[in-house]
Structure 1
Amino acid sequence: MGLEKTWRWFGEKDSVSLADLKQMGIEGVVTALHHIPNGELWPVEEILKVKSQIEAHGMRWSVVESLPVSEGIKTHNEDYPRLIENYRESIRSLGKCGIDRVCYNFMPVIDWVRTDLHYKLDDGGEVMFFDFPTFVAFDAFILKRPGAEQDYPAGIVEKARRLMVEMSDEEKEKLAYNTIVVTQGFIDGVVDGSAPDYKKLFLDFINTYREIDADRLREHLRLFLQDVIPVAEEYGVKLCIHPDDPPFPVLGLPRIVSTQADLEWICNQYDSVSNGVTFCTGSLSVNRNNDLPAIVKSIGDRIHFTHLRNNIFLPDGCFHESGHIYGDVDLFPIMKALLEEQKRRSAEGREDVRIPVRPDHGIKMLDDYGKSANPGYPLIGRLKGLAELSGLEMGIERMME
């Protein structure tokens, strides 16, 4: 029994239609109510509207990605009671509508980070790149976050300083805008770029974490889980936290979902199948100490959603994305471990045997250059990845028989 083939769809404005997804063999759609502001309620009627659209094309709404966790929940500020009740009520509404999986993250201020959204491969394809010295140049010398230079290795800081000399003012502004606004804009970022001084506003959000270290952020996550998991259990919803991207501290902010130990700790904070994980190979693999098949075997019963893709790793902590089955991440043992987990669930008699999987960020190629898409989400590149992953999956399944 293969993994459930899913696809991230950004709603009616997405250049890829639901009819397209049906033709591509997609079984489940991954989407969200993108028009609802962070922290506000998700009304039943709005959920049913999207669900009906998806089901009219013969698919199901497999995963909500995501129901955003507001900064006020992560910082546990004075608005926490209102925000957490809205979150709980939104989970109730999703459960009533038959939507049973919710992907979320607990990354402070900034979700995922790349320094180049249009990195050219030798074959003409285009991917996203994270260059560590360039990111440090942004943090220490463009954003000018106080104390930033002390947060990174001295050699990386020196390379960042040299990069600053070479960069034009236009390049510096583009780096800042891409990092703060463009990469976050379609995933409920804290800064939308309309502010007169968006860099200062971004710094203000970072400053709210001055007194919040990793231990305190873990405590806030524990409180969040205690408040929402009982509701999720009652309404048949499984929550699955997404790993940090990249899985190490940036901007002086704590990261607490980066390692196998982190994921095990989270699963242990509330002993329930509703308290689960989104297993993302693209994020977790960047921490080279992570053994991804071992993570599947350790917390497999709590993996409710999977993102599969690949990376090429370079010196100085740099990396660029490389499609799906080709790169420095060996997808074979990972796919095998996921399929073995499904067999184990079937033997146990669990109802949630099939794990939804989606091809994560793809290579921009061919006709993708003539289409509009969010960064990392080209049609052809992801469709190629889906085909590759499906072939790998079929081969492993036959081998396991």
Structure 2
Amino acid sequence: MPALVKMVEAFGMRLSVIERKLPHLKIVHGLEGRDAQIEEVKTLLRSMAEVSMEVLCYNWMPDEDWQRTSKDVPERGGAKVTAFDLKQAGEGNLTDADGLPKTRTPADRLWENLKRFLDDILPTAEDCKVRLALHPDDPPLSNLHGQDRIITSNEAFERVVALAPSPNNGLCYCQGALAPAGVDVEAGIRKLAPHIHYAHFRNVAGVAEDFRETFHDNGGLDMAALMRAYKECGFDGPMRPDHAPSLAGESNETPGYETLGKLHAIGYMKGLYDQASFFES
């Protein structure tokens, strides 16, 4: 990890967040081997502390990670975006997770396992000065393929915060993951701001059962209002554009993460931030 930090710093940037692909499915489902995975997470926290990294983003998705049914839906100007259609979802065409759940755990047990995880991990996180940031389920469906999912709303986030009161227990507020469920994103930002340790700032169009990603200026969210909400709440944590379209001419080998779409998104976000600062003054 020190070599990675040094490489990033050589470009005038600072590495402050670790996210995705944590070894945690046995923890989520409460399976044999969960204690070993807990120790792996603690080891990661200690490694982060050695290089002064501030935030560990994790999720409680019981099938590992975000899911889509399409990677190349047409967007403006020949760009391509990812999409999810519940009618098409099934083993073999889920794009980021491994397909249908191998273990089905009910919602109440998922909450119990999350509480146990936080109780086990937070003392180490506090010692290491690393803040936890829980990402919502994507897609934000309360059940997918017979498997319950629990982190799909502002209310769920409030419950997470209440599970383990600690300044190191917090949230990754991913507005693009929550919005298809009809969540009031601006209200969520304003209410949960003290607990938001990390922000994913992207746009989306559609509903939880059928949605697509968009350019940052081309979805259903009022992005200017949301940036103002972050600014007015005094948010000073890390924020990233999350997924962005693959622009015409890009390979789309890593949907949502191609270079040119990301550059467009970052520029748009910088403009919104400057606008929010102007109105604040």
TM-score category (smaller protein):
over 0.9
Residue-pair matches, total = 280
Distance 1:85 1:110, change over 3 A: closer
Residues 363, 397 of structure 1: CA spacing in aligned structure 2 closer, same or farther, 3 A cutoff? same
4+ residue runs over 6 A deviation: none
Partner of 1:183: 96
1:257–1:296 CA distance, 2 compared to 1 (3 A): same
Report % sequence identity.
31
Instruction: State the distance in 2 between where 1:305 and 1:394 align.
Output: 19
Deviations 1:177-229 (A, max 9, x none): x41xx524xxxxxx5xxxxxxxxxx55xx2422xx210110000000000111
Classify the secondary structure of the residue corresponding to 2:192: helix
Conserved 8 A contact 1:125-1:363: yes
Summarize the alignment of residues 1-400 of structure 1 with structure 2, pairs less than 5 Å apart. Answer: 47-66=1-20, 68-121=22-75, 123-135=77-89, 138=90, 143=91, 176=92, 178-179=93-94, 182-184=95-97, 191=98, 203=100, 206-209=101-104, 212-248=105-141, 249-288=143-182, 290-313=183-206, 317-342=209-234, 354-369=236-251, 373-400=253-280
| Cα distance in 1 between the residues matched to 2:200 and 2:18 | 13
User: Is the Cα contact below 8 Å between 1:69 and 1:104 reproduced in 2?
Assistant: no
d(CA) in 1 for partners of 2:214, 2:103: 35
Aligned match of 1:23: none
Asked whether the 8 Å contact 1:69–1:105 carries over to 2, the reply is no
AA matched with 1:310? N
Answer 1 or 2: which has greater helix percent: 1
Residue 387 of structure 1: how far off its partner (Å): 1.0
User: Is the 1:66–1:103 contact (alpha carbons within 8 Å) kept by the matching residues of 2?
Assistant: yes
**Structure 1: distance between partners of 2:23 and 2:191:** 26
Distance in 2 (CA, whole Å) between partners of 1:233 and 1:373 is 38
Cα distance in 2 for residues equivalent to 1:122 and 1:397: 29
Alignment match, 1:169: none
Which stretches in structure 2 are left out of the alignment for 5+ residues?
A: none
Contact 2:107–2:150 (Cα < 8 Å) also in 1: yes
Amino acid at match of 1:75: H
What's the CA shift for 1:110? 3.9
Counterpart residue identity of residue 324, structure 1: H
TM-score under structure 1 normalisation?
0.66
User: For residue 234 of structure 1, what is the amino acid of its counterpart?
Assistant: D
Secondary structure at the aligned position of 2:180 is classed as coil
Q: For residues 129 and 84 of structure 1, what CA distance do their matches in structure 2 show?
A: 33
What do you get for the CA RMSD once the two structures are aligned?
1.8
Q: How far apart in 2 are the matches of 1:51 and 1:365?
A: 29
Consecutive unaligned residues of structure 1, counting only runs of 5 or more, are 1-46, 144-175, 185-190, 192-201, 343-352
Measure, in 2, the Cα distance between the counterparts of 1:236 and 1:373.
36
State the SS of the aligned residue for 2:77.
coil
Question: Using the alignment, how far apart are the partners of 1:91 and 1:122 within structure 2?
Answer: 41
CA distance in 1, matches of 2:29, 2:84: 27
CA contact (8 A) 1:367 1:380 kept: no
Which structure would you say has the larger Rg?
Answer: 1
CA distance in 2, matches of 1:364, 1:232: 36
Distance in 2 (CA, whole Å) between partners of 1:286 and 1:77 is 31
TM-score normalised by L of structure 2: 0.93
Separation in 1 of the partners of 2:193 and 2:247? 34
Q: Distance in 2 between matches of 1:122 and 1:59?
A: 31
Question: Conserved in 1, the CA contact under 8 Å of 2:247 and 2:261?
Answer: yes
CA distance in 2, matches of 1:110, 1:91: 20
